A and B are shown apart, each in its own frame.
Chain A
Amino acid sequence: MAEQTSRGMTKGRLRKAVLWITVFFLAVLAALSVYSAFLGSSKATVFFNSPPLAVFWILLALLFAAGFFTVKSLVKRPALFLCHLGCLLVILGALWGSQDAHQLRARHFGSTKVREGMMKIHEGHRENRLYSADGTSTVVGELPFELGLDDFWIEYYESKGQLYSVDSNDVATAVTAEPGKVLDLGEGKPKIQITRAFKNFKIMIDGDRRIAHDAGGSNVNPALEVEITLPDGSKSGGHYVFARGFGGHGFEYEGLFLGYRYSGPSQISDYKSALAVVEDGEVVLRKTIEVNDPLHYGGYDFYQTGYDQQRGHYTVLSVTSDSGLVPVFIGYFFLCLGVIWQCWLRHLRPGKAVSA
């Protein structure tokens, strides 16, 4: 009995010791994280991948492992086991996927896999060279297959702009520039209805008729066709308000001033690259990638990151190795499950007695 109590006490002490070492390690990691927040991401990446930090990560992983051997509840209670095993898997996966681990495998096991790089592919061309991720033109590796770019394009948000009028007191009234919308200037003032919107207004001459039409394309000469109803009820249609204005002038009619504020070149909504994976001269996979939707093939992930800003003829992809990803994401899953189990299901029961 006395022996059992004393063993209980050593166990209790051991648990306490493990907990305090844990607190110490977590506090050190927190302090290093605060420090690295001041460095900015690129320096912080170098810092956390440096040799002393590699030692820290390995010690942390060992601490988790030691915890399983010394504190029984970490293994016996499934919730706690999942929390801690999850963390351990994340650290191990991250170590396995690190730059140093890739280099070690290359040096000692002849692996050709690189951790990360960039690719620049012209439309209609194929490429397998990976350039350094720091933007220099150093080739850091080659893929065992080729990637072709069938097409690259940019998508924009629909931007409508506004039809507006400014009165003698400089007060503006505006309406979204859409056919059917009416700009109502109030009691005793004209009403202006938008009857048509042109992305690229052009006049076609047909005999002695002049026909307004939308030449399409990008927004070269955006314009609105409006119909004006004067306070006396008389209507007058076929007026055009130009966003660019001829010579910068607005539109004036019977003392009424109208303008078309076009939102300018609209904001980009997406970049897309239609890619083809080519093995031994044959296309084995096609996929259109965009931001948030990468291509996964042959142990790498390919991300849309840039493009030819002048002419849109090439795309820039960032490429990352998928080594270590599986343990990291399984670790995430375990961690979530364990934390929810431990924190919610065990503690959060209505009216549960106050814990000791």
Chain B
Amino acid sequence: MMIKNTPQGYLIYAAMAAMLIAFVASLLKRRRTANAIYLLSSVIVLAALVYRGIHVKHWPMQNLFEVFLCLGLIYPVSLFCRKFLRVGAEPADMLIGFIVLFPAGFVFSAEPQQLPPALQCWLFAPHVGVYMASYAIMAKATVQAVMAMAGKARPADPDLVDYEEGTYRIVSMGFPFLTLGLILGSWWGKLAWGDYWGWDPKEMWSLVTWLVYAIYLHVRAVYGRKRPRLTGGLAVLGMAAVIITLLWVNLSRIFSGLHSYAS
């Protein structure tokens, strides 16, 4: 646990505070205020990212500090889901925003690093970028899945779809990003290491994640909307795999792998 006494740190703390305030405001049924503060928090996260990018002179997606900072930019996902998919649950997104900013603010070092040769590739930003997008989206899907598993049929707002359908729509939104992330990573591996697949732990976990969501889609194709607990459980399992892919491989020293840049 460390506090960052830098402009970078202050921006992160401000964004975290705004996420929390927005969350509390939405609990108090102040939807408009909550939304405005939520938007503000995302503007601050964006500012923190731009600041970081200028500071380190590359896309801020190299280490876990930068990755978690990127994940804080969840507002566009909330907006898209409400406008196009009729899925709400923004208060949960605010909490997710707060939770993912926490490691950026307090756990991971913001010591700037230069890009080692293997990371200097145009595929670097798109590969990590689509993964960040998919993770933020799948985190939102998890909330819908948990609600569906808890036996809640639908949100109070009649404009919104029920939780089972919400899970399916959001997983459908996130799965192509996950697929793109995997394929761009594989392409990059081909360029950097000579093989499009290296069988290293980080790759294996991201394959597992992708497979779990593929299983979700197929089980959903069998049962449709009839088994929300089963399909919801698979979506939650997918998120567990995401978290392991993102964190465990980096933090634990259990595996010896190629993907050690992010540690």
Contact = CB atoms under 8 A, between A and B. Distances in A.
A291 interface: yes
B83 A270 contact: no
B231 to A, nearest CB: 12
Nearest to B224: A356
A26 B237 CA distance: 14
B46 interface: no
Contact of B114 (A16, A38, A269, A349): A269
Contact of B176 (A30, A344, A355): A344
A332 B218 contact: no
A339 B175 contact: yes
Contacts of B173: 343-344, 347-348
A114 interface: no
Contact of B165 (A44, A319, A354): A354
Nearest to B193: A303
A336 interface: yes
Interface string B110-132: 00001111101100000000000
Nearest to B191: A292
Contact of A294 (B180, B194, B207, B221): B194
Interface stretch (B5-13, B37-45, B70-78, B252-260): B252-260
A348 B84 contact: yes
A57 to B, nearest CB: 12
B192 A267 contact: no
Nearest to A133: B194
A70 B205 CA distance: 31
Contact of A26 (B195, B214, B257): B214
B172 A348 contact: yes
B199 interface: yes
A349 B204 CA distance: 33
A22 interface: yes
A292 B255 contact: no
A36 interface: yes
Contacts, number: 151
A94 B211 contact: no
Given A19-B222, A30-B215, A335-B183, A270 B120 contact: yes
B189 to A, nearest CB: 11
B174 to A, nearest CB: 9
Contacts of A270: 117, 120
A340 B176 contact: yes
Interface string B190-211: 1111111111110011011001
A355 B195 CA distance: 41
A328 B256 contact: no
A33 B208 contact: yes
B255 A38 contact: yes
Contacts of A294: 191, 194
B219 interface: yes
Contacts of B221: 19
Nearest to B201: A37
B169 interface: yes
B121 A292 contact: yes
A44 B202 CA distance: 12
A270 B168 CA distance: 45
Contact of A40 (B175, B222, B257): B257
Contacts of A267: 114, 116
B179 interface: yes
B162 interface: yes
Contact of A23 (B168, B198, B215): B215
Contacts of A271: 117
A301 to B, nearest CB: 6
Contact of B204 (A37, A318, A328): A37
A40 B255 contact: yes
A62 interface: no
Contacts of A325: 190, 196
A95 to B, nearest CB: 13
A16 B222 contact: yes
B99 interface: no
A111 to B, nearest CB: 20
A335 B181 CA distance: 12
A30 B194 contact: no
27 contacts: A23-B215, A29-B211, A33-B204, A33-B205, A34-B205, A37-B249, A38-B254, A40-B256, A45-B199, A269-B120, A270-B120, A291-B192, A292-B192, A303-B193, A305-B194, A318-B193, A328-B196, A332-B187, A344-B172, A344-B173, A344-B176, A348-B85, A349-B84, A350-B84, A354-B161, A354-B165, A355-B224
Given A269-B120, A292-B118, A356-B225, 7 more contacts: A41-B198, A290-B117, A292-B120, A320-B194, A325-B196, A336-B183, A348-B169
Shortest Cβ-Cβ A-B pairs, 6 listed: A41-B200, A291-B117, A44-B199, A37-B204, A30-B211, A37-B201
